Chain A
Amino acid sequence: MTNHNGAHPSRWQNWQRSIYRFRQSGLSIAGLAIVLVLMLIAVAGSWIVPFPEHISGGINTAARFKPPSSLYWFGTNELGQDVFSLVMAGARVSLIAGFGVVMIAAIIGGLIGALAGYAGGWIDDVLMRLTDLMLTLPSLILAMAIAAALGAGLDNMVFAISMSWWPGFARLMRGEVIAKKEDLFVQAARALGASDSRILLRHVLPNVMSPIIIKMSLDMGFAILAVAALGFIGIGVKPPTPEWGSLLSLARGYLPDYWWTAIFPGLAIFFAVLGFNLLGDGLRDLFDPKARR
């Protein structure tokens, strides 16, 4: 990192300081570790699980409801499927779905918020009243209703949840854009004759991305939770998709005797949400000095 002007060394030092602080926080490191393991499982899942055939719906009725053992680490379920393999495969479903939710929500909310903040006036009024109204609606029930109307399928479920998720992003984006649009470099661009779309896309948006990215990482855990909740209610994905919430919901009927069919998918949801929450908290502390204590 050589530097020719005064801006670079301080930025680089800030990064170093941030990384140092992040490493000092044990909880952030734990969160990062959980998330990395999850991602690894999500990528390598179907190659490293002991019974890949069970993920695609294969059954083994001779081995129904076997308790956890060295062969079946998490036991087997009512179809004789290896719960460990199913839970591992669920990591990919949950990560993709959770990421899909925050991504779509950030894009829709970001566009609405940026438009409202940049345009101001009646456009701002209309869009923000709509956002406020959306925030008063019960998000889980709204997502359930949309997902049920669209029909089963992971993509419909992701879309349904993000339809109830975007208002938070819209509010955040509007505030950031309003704060930035009067900045000197934006006025300079306008004085040079740049068009509105160019100013918004090239000058304003790149400078408001970090709070958006922090919110995305903070929301990841809760998005995974929402996906599992819909799966648990039985709206959205259908078996044999190994989704953690629907695995848990199926296992409900076999309690208390076959507790392992419920406990392990439940713990998987818990650790995934915990990991993303810890990582998100850590990232927010790095990039948002105001939130730091």
Chain B
Amino acid sequence: MIRFIIRRLVLLVPVFIGLTLLVFTISHILPGDPVKLAAGPQASAEEIASLTREFGMDRPLPQQYWHYASGLLQGDWGQSVLTRRPVAADLKIYLPATLELVFAAIILAIVIGIPAGLLSAITANRWPDYLIRILSLASIAMPRFFLALVLQLVFAMSLAWLPLNGRFPIIDLPPPTVTGMLTLDSLLAGDWLAFTTSCEHLLMPALAMSLSPLATITRMMRASTLDVLQQDFVLTERALGLSQSLIILKYVLRNAFSSTLTVIGLYIGWLLSGSVLVETVFDWPGIGLYATKAIVTQDFMPVMGVTLSIGFIFVLVNLAIDLLYGVINPKVRYQ
């Protein structure tokens, strides 16, 4: 087990190097001159030349890559051409906001999806099952940004139950920053009011993000529950007089864990990258909005920073999931 973990961790090194190489190559193949854009239309040739020198873009590409990659190791993720702010400092602010959204979406998907999948399997081919299956088909086809708009229209604009957008009211004092996630920080500070306020802001964007993984968890839970209920040992136990709910508690809960893990692995990249759409609708100040602004101005250091951090998180989460599979299911062997 320990040897397996160490081997997997060592294998991460070439993956990370490959990722930085790939992201660096793509961003240098693409047309567009960020310096010219940042300098403005009135900039003289000398001004552009001096800016190019300042950002090291006059050096040969392998040298630029070496500079970038060695900087990454020291926590220097480059600098935005437009705002002159270091990318690492920006990511420190924006990444927790997106992670909070992604965590909340995954939690919603689990809390709603697992009971829904169970209910669907228990009532297989009767109306609750049909209803749940149709809703999950619709959930997968529903564009996140459209659902986000409809939620806004109904719950913020018409009913005024929830705040329209943002993470926290500007006039209120946010909790002291520890993790950068407002819900956690307000709990850590014991500030109940700040906690409910940040939850109110989080609810709609998290719901809009959670729909697809929710539908997938529901379908997987339904399938695996039906599978378990048809096994011989379950039939035997039922014949011996065990109640259905006891059997489900005994055997189906393990499936709940593994289907949850699978869905997280499948969706983590999708959620992080797709947060762009939900963040745009709700003005949620995360890496999605940050990346969009940078992309529009072709400010490629922040775009590389966001892309790489999502890639790193994706790889690490999937490694963690591979390890957890073995913990919950001894049948999975480490090789």
Contacts and interface: CB of A to CB of B under 8 A. Distances in A.
B322 to A, nearest CB: 14
Contact of B291 (A137, A141, A256, A278): A141
B262 interface: no
A13 B101 CA distance: 52
Contacts of A273: 141-143
A232 B295 contact: no
Interface string B258-292: 00000000000100111011001100000010011
A232 B145 contact: yes
Contact of A233 (B150, B277, B303, B315): B277
Interface in A232-282: 232-235, 245, 248, 252, 255-256, 259, 262-263, 266, 269-271, 273-274, 277-278
Given A266-B149, A269-B143, A141 B273 contact: yes
For this complex, into which size category does the number of interface residues on chain A fall?
A: 35 or more
Contacts of B298: 148-149
Contact of B303 (A141, A228, A263): A141
B326 interface: no
A250 B140 CA distance: 24
7 contacts: A133-B18, A137-B307, A138-B272, A138-B311, A138-B314, A263-B150, A270-B146
A278 B137 CA distance: 8
Residue among A134, A149, A245, A262 having the largest count of chain B Cβ atoms under 10 Å: A149
Contacts of A133: 15, 18-19, 22
Given A134-B22, A138-B273, A149-B298, 10 more contacts: A138-B307, A138-B310, A140-B277, A141-B288, A141-B291, A142-B26, A145-B26, A229-B274, A233-B276, A256-B153
Contacts of A102: none
A248 B146 contact: yes
The 9 nearest A-B residue pairs measured at CB = A138-B273, A266-B146, A274-B141, A149-B30, A256-B157, A273-B141, A138-B310, A140-B273, A149-B32
B276 A140 contact: yes
Interface of A: 27, 129-130, 133-134, 136-142, 144-146, 148-150, 221, 225, 228-229, 232-235, 245, 248, 252, 255-256, 259, 262-263, 266, 269-271, 273-274, 277-278, 293
B139 to A, nearest CB: 10
B295 A235 contact: yes
A259 B274 contact: no
B221 interface: no
Nearest to B23: A137
Interface residues of B, number: 47
B51 interface: no
B296 interface: yes
Contacts of A245: 145
A139 B169 CA distance: 32
A194 to B, nearest CB: 36
Contacts of A134: 22
A266 B310 CA distance: 28
B277 A136 contact: no
B280 to A, nearest CB: 6
Given A27-B137, A277-B137, A144 B292 contact: yes
A248 B145 contact: yes
A269 B148 CA distance: 14
Contacts of A277: 137, 140-141
B62 interface: no
Residue among A228, A229, A234 having the largest count of chain B Cβ atoms under 10 Å: A229
A145 B27 contact: yes
B241 interface: no
